[in-house]
Chains A and B, each alone.
Chain A
Amino acid sequence: MTDVDTPPATTPAAIDAVPLRHPWRWVAAVVIVVLLALFLYGAATNDAYRWHVFAEYMFNERVLKVGLVNTLQLTVYSMVLAIALGVLLAVMRLSPNPVFKSVAWVYLWIFRGTPVYVQLVFWGLIPTIYANIQLGVPFGPSFFHLNLQALSIPFVLAILGLALNEAAYMAEIIRAGISSVPEGQLEASTALGMSWGLAMRRTVLPQAMRVIIPPTGNEVISMLKTTSLVTGVPFALDLYGITSREIAARIFEPVPLLMVAATWYLIVTSILMVGQYYLERYYSRGASRKLTTKQLEALAKAQTENPGGMSA
């Protein structure tokens, strides 16, 4: 009988095999490159694209300082509001309190059940529906009075409209994330004396983040593009409004200005994708038993210092 614990006297040579060839991958790649080259050549020589107009307006001050800035602000503000409200709604839907549960359900039913464009137009009409806001005792004295029609608030209404609609979707994403955390986690936290809220905040939500982040990244990117619908409020100073409705209408060049808008949307989206990658990596801590580079280095070092001995 051989002793299984004894390593072989000489380590066998590392395997040097001929790698598997993939000829069809090369064929497909060549075909695609040729097609792409033909398309690019066609686009470059087609006068309808008006590339000189595109170049002229790509870094136009009004496009950048008004259009792009407003689009980014709309995206960030409405997304932050939507996430905050979404967490609240998701927690309400999962809470043991039946009042919270039904309120959250009705909210989702209304805001997910109607188109965002319709909602934006509706928010734009709020000042005509509710001309005045009063705070006070019903049929009694009023402490606070606000005349909505006297204010110019399409920007605020646009954010509100986008955020309230998005919150319904975020609530579902967050709820799915929370549900993905095993029940034992809440149980272990409860057994340690944590309240339901503390267990949610410290144990469940951080673990739910791993499931929540990827679709939320998609929602941010989607929100960036949905901001082009604020024209329904109407708010016309976003990227799409400035390029396609203001400048294009003035100089009668719709195609190159659409390309300007599309290019900027694409650039911002690409930056967001990089951010999403790092966020996902941060929240996947502890999710895999794969060791980090640092831990692997430490183990390899221990192995060379202590040959033959296994690290526990």
Chain B
Amino acid sequence: MTPMVKAQEVCKSFGALHVLKGITLEVGKGEVLCMVGPSGSGKSTFLRCINHLEQVNAGRLYVDGDLIGYREAGSKLHEISPRDAAKQRRDIGMVFQHFNLFPHRTALENLIEAPVHVKRVKKADAVARAKDLLEQVGLSDKATAYPAQLSGGQQQRVAIARALAMNPKLMLFDEPTSALDPELVGEVLEVMKKLAAEGMTMVVVTHEMGFAREVANQLVFMDGGVVVESGPPREVLANPKHERTKAFLSKVL
């Protein structure tokens, strides 16, 4: 079976700054991969490479067998057009640390925006699906609320529903609970757990070790742009092999 995400020696630099120095990993379909590590280690950058918000400089990155960001013709790689890049992103949902909901649209309007204008779904169908999703994240009563009127936890749940509205085959979470008050973290993690249980393939950058231990199939510890250690979360968290992993975990656990 083709893995959902396959990264081979992925490198990314911004000018002289090398952020990713050869990341190789695989995420199978229906699997949850959690990425942990100190800030500046390149976790978010790697996540943004997966849906081509950043362009990979070296190595290859495949999502469901498709090369991301380039088209292979003969032995040459060609940059793909913005239109084709947009097409690739349609099937990849992304949830941001700061939610990035559309503040001028209500919760429901946030959910139907992309299905109606990108996928050209009929508005009535999109609304029905959006109501369904809002119920799944426990916010059916907030359909007409604007983002500014919702708590952080509620906003993040709307943001997850907004990404799900496009029926993605892969969901990327970029520190989804880092901007939340501690008491609101639980409700967002709950939604993510449910999603994982339903078989969604997920790549999650997080500092929530409890969530990683419970939900992830694979835990990756990154530092300085490389994967230092990876494996089943219980093993990595309980018996870290590498000194850097030990040092990091002793601070966060």
Contacts and interface: CB of A to CB of B under 8 A. Distances in A.
Best-surrounded residue of B87, B104, B118, B146 (most CB of chain A within 10 A): B104
Specify the main secondary structure of chain B where it touches its partner: mixed
B166 interface: yes
A195 B86 contact: yes
B148 interface: yes
A191 B51 contact: yes
Classify chain B's interface size.
Answer: 20 to 34
B90 interface: yes
Contacts of B106: 286
Contacts of A73: none
A282 to B, nearest CB: 11
B100 interface: yes
B157 interface: no
B103 A286 contact: yes
A295 to B, nearest CB: 8
B118 to A, nearest CB: 5
Contacts of B53: 187, 190-191
Interface in A167-212: 182, 184-185, 187-196, 198, 202-203, 206-207
A196 B98 CA distance: 21
Contact of B87 (A184, A193, A198, A291): A193
Interface string B35-55: 000000000000000010100
A285 interface: yes
Given A202-B113, A289-B149, A190 B86 contact: yes
Contacts of B76: none
B194 interface: no
Best-surrounded residue of A187, A190, A286, A291 (most CB of chain B within 10 A): A286
Contacts of B96: 184, 187-188, 191
Contacts of A14: none
B82 A195 contact: yes
B48 to A, nearest CB: 9
B103 A192 contact: no
A242 to B, nearest CB: 43
B117 interface: yes
Interface string B11-29: 0000000000000000000
Contacts, number: 78
A207 B103 contact: yes
Interface in A259-293: 285-289, 291
Given A192-B89, A192-B118, A193-B87, A286 B100 contact: no
B100 A291 contact: no
B117 A198 contact: yes
A203 B15 CA distance: 30
Contacts of A295: 149
A311 to B, nearest CB: 9
A286 B98 contact: no
Interface string B93-117: 1101010111111100000011001
B111 to A, nearest CB: 11
Nearest to B85: A190
A198 B53 CA distance: 16
Given A207-B104, A286-B105, A195 B83 contact: yes
B148 A188 contact: no
B82 A289 contact: no
A185 B102 CA distance: 7
Nearest to B88: A193
A193 B104 contact: no
Given A185-B100, A190-B53, A194-B86, A291 B149 contact: yes
A289 B147 CA distance: 8
B160 interface: no
B118 A198 contact: yes
Contact of A193 (B90, B102, B103, B147): B90
A55 B146 CA distance: 53
6 contacts: A182-B100, A185-B100, A187-B100, A191-B53, A192-B113, A195-B83
Q: When A and B form their complex, which 3 residue pairs have the shortest distance between CB atoms, in order from nearest? A: A193-B90, A188-B100, A286-B146
Interface of A: 182, 184-185, 187-196, 198, 202-203, 206-207, 285-289, 291, 295, 312
Given A191-B89, A192-B162, A198-B118, 8 more contacts: A184-B96, A192-B89, A192-B90, A192-B113, A193-B87, A285-B104, A285-B146, A286-B105
